[in-house]
Amino acid sequence: MKVLVINCGSSSLKYQLIDSDTEKVLAKGLCERIGIDGRLVYQKAGLDKEKYDYAMPTHKEAIGYVLKALTNDKTGAISDLKEIDAIGHRVVHGGEKFSKSTIITDDVIKTIEEVSELAPLHNPANLIGINVCKELMPGVPNVAVFDTAFHQTMPPKAYLYGLPYDYYKKYGVRRYGFHGTSHSFVSKETAKFLGLDINNSKIIVCHLGNGASISAVENGKCVDTSMGMTPLDGLVMGTRSGAIDPAIIEFIAHKENLTLDEVTEILNKKSGVFGLSNGLSSDFRDLDDAATHGNELAKEALEVFSYRVLKTVGGYVAVMNGVDAIAFTAGIGENDPGVRAEVIKNLGYLGIELDEEANKVRGESALISTPDSKVKVCVIPTNEELAICRDTVALLK
C-alpha cells in the first residue's frame, strides 16, 4: 500500500509518502508559512530537495500543491493520485476518547472536535488537514493516530493531579501525555533490538527533542509519562519550562505586570534551556558548543536539563520496581552523547555501565551500555511517520 502521512500544524504541514510493503519513503517534505505567504519543500527519494514559493492562504492550497508535487511529470513519486491507498493523520489530542488509532468517520471527526478544547492550538489544525484530504481525495480512507493514545493505559494514580476531583470529572483535567506514537514505536523497537519479550519487559523511553518527554513502559503498556494535560509539563525542554511550582505563575504575573496568557506564552516559548541560557539558544548543538567554550550559563542549562531527565528516569525505575532497558530517542537523545553520559553516570547503582566508545554514536540504533551492564541502554531512532503508516495499514487490512 502507498500511505500518505500528514502532520498538520497551525501554519505548517509535514508529509511523507510511504510504501508500506517496503517501509521506504517515496517522497517527503513540508509546507511552511501557510496563511502568511507559503513555501513548499518537496523531495523525491534519492533526489535533491525542491523549494517553491506558492501562495497558501489556507491548508487546502498547501495540500493541493503537495498532491501536485507528488504527481508532477519530472520528479513525481507517483503518476496518479489514485495510487494513494490511504492517508494517516497525526492528531495531537484524543482525550480519554481514543486509546488507539482509528479509521476516520463523521463521528470520529465530531469527537476530535469535542476534545479540541484540550489542545486548542493543535487539534483544529489536525482537523483542517483531515477535512481537506477528504475533499481533495474523496473515497480514500483516512486514519487518525493520536499522540495521547499510547498513554491511555496509565492507572489513575499516575494520571490524576492533586486537585479537586470535580475538575477531572467536569473538565477532563488529568495527565494525558504526548509523543505517544514515538514512545510506542521506540519501546517496541527497543524490545526487538535487544531481543526482549515486550510482554515481559520494563522499558524507559527518553524522547528528548525540542519537546521532550519520558515514559515508563511495562509489558508493552505505558504506566506513566512526564508530559501532562498539556505538553508543558514534565522535563525542562528547548523553550518550555516543564514542571514548575504552580505558584510561580501568579508571582511572575504580579512582578512583571503580565496577564495569565502572557505568562503561559513565556512558559511555552521563552523558558527551558533557551530561558536558562539567557536566550542564547534552544538548540543543544549551540549550547554544547557554548559550554565547551566556557559559557557557564549554557553549561548550567545543560545540567538542569540532564538532571531533570535523571530524576524522571529514577522515578520510573521505582514506579516499575526495576528496569530492563533505557532507550534514548529524538534529536537530542539520538545525537547528544554528552546528555546521555550525564544521565547514565548517576545510574551506576542499578548496575548500569556506559560504554563510552559506543556512546559516540549519532542517529542510529546502538547499544551504548557495556556487554555486562545489568540494564541495557540504547539509542533507538524514532520514526513517527512510519509508526503512523503502520497503524494506518493495520486498521485497513
Active site residue 147: yes
With binding defined as CB under 6 A, does residue 306 bind ligand ADP? no
Q: For residues 108 and 232, which CB has a smaller minimum distance to ligand ADP in the complex?
A: 232
Q: Which residues pair with 198 in a beta bridge?
A: none
Q: How many angstroms separate the first and last alpha carbons of the chain?
A: 10
With binding defined as CB under 6 A, does residue 285 bind ligand ADP? yes
With binding defined as CB under 6 A, does residue 309 bind ligand ADP? no
CB 238 within 8 A of CB 210: yes
With binding defined as CB under 6 A, does residue 336 bind ligand ADP? yes
Instruction: State which of residues 38, 95, 231, 238 lies at the interface with ligand ADP (CB under 6 A).
Output: 238
Instruction: State which of residues 150, 178, 193, 284 lies at the interface with ligand ADP (CB under 6 A).
Output: 284
Instruction: State which of residues 129, 228, 234, 331 lies at the interface with ligand ADP (CB under 6 A).
Output: 331
- Which residue is catalytic, options 73, 80, 147, 261? 147
Instruction: State which of residues 38, 129, 211, 272 lies at the interface with ligand ADP (CB under 6 A).
Output: 211
Q: How far is the CB of 288 from ligand ADP (least distance, A)?
A: 6
| Distance of alpha carbon 388 from alpha carbon 113, whole angstroms | 20
Pull the grid cell for residue 43.
Answer: 523531495
User: Contacts with ligand ADP: how many residues (CB under 6 A)?
Assistant: 14
CA dihedral 305→301→122→27, nearest 10 degrees, is -80
* 122: amino acid identity, one letter: H
With binding defined as CB under 6 A, does residue 330 bind ligand ADP? yes
| Distance of alpha carbon 178 from alpha carbon 196, whole angstroms | 25
Q: For residues 233 and 324, which CB has a smaller minimum distance to ligand ADP in the complex?
A: 233
CB 324 within 8 A of CB 375: yes
Helix (H, G, I), strand (E, B) or coil at 320: helix
Instruction: State which of residues 332, 380, 388, 389 lies at the interface with ligand ADP (CB under 6 A).
Output: 332
With binding defined as CB under 6 A, does residue 209 bind ligand ADP? yes
| Distance of alpha carbon 67 from alpha carbon 48, whole angstroms | 18
| Distance of alpha carbon 206 from alpha carbon 361, whole angstroms | 16
CB 214 within 8 A of CB 225: yes
Q: How far is the CB of 118 from ligand ADP (least distance, A)?
A: 20
Q: How far is the CB of 186 from ligand ADP (least distance, A)?
A: 12
| Distance of alpha carbon 333 from alpha carbon 166, whole angstroms | 38
Residues that bind ligand ADP (CB under 6 A): 209-211, 238, 283-285, 288, 330-332, 335-336, 362
